[in-house]
Amino acid sequence: MRENYETATFAAGCFWCTEAVFQRFKGVFNVKSGYTGGHIQNPPYREVCTGRTGHAEGIQFNFDPNIITYRELLEIFFTTHDPTTLNREGNDKGTQYRSAIFYANESQRQEAENFVNFLDEEKIFPNPIVTEITPLDIFYPAEEEHDDYYNRNKEQMYCQYIINPKVDKIKKHYSKKLKEEYTK
């Protein structure tokens, strides 16, 4: 990792969706799906799906703050999922699908808290934000079959009905910030 890169870790429902969104942005690198925020070591997907491990499905990635700031990443995070539903994103239900920001340092914690306060004060969402803001402990990369899932499975029904609308939304709202190969 280059010296000026930072790391961000987010959970916003299914990690296939979150990965598909963030990997499209300029300045974002090494997007990896995985599990964090739970109480067992090296949890497998099958166990995380039960909701009993305490882990959230999330993503972790590197970013160049000279190209895309942490605040911009937070804006994208809150634009592409519903942060007002507890332990749920769309039809995916359970603590493993919770909305969470796992901060890597004090600066990220303050930025996340300030941004949530701003969104709540401005009443951007009709209901209060329930996104968890917690320190990052350990991020466990998911199994290989989850890597680059959307790009490899665009014809799959879940991708068409759940992920495509999120990708279309970022194309509409953030076209100038997307990597060229993802603007079409």
Among all residues, which ones are annotated catalytic? 14
Return the DSSP state at 55.
P
Half-sphere exposure (CA, 13 Å, Cβ side) for 117?
6
Phi, psi of 103 (to 5 degrees): -80, 145
CA dist list (Å): 74 to 19, 86, 104, 146: 14, 18, 14, 23
Angle among Cα 36, 42, 44 to the nearest 5 degrees reads 90
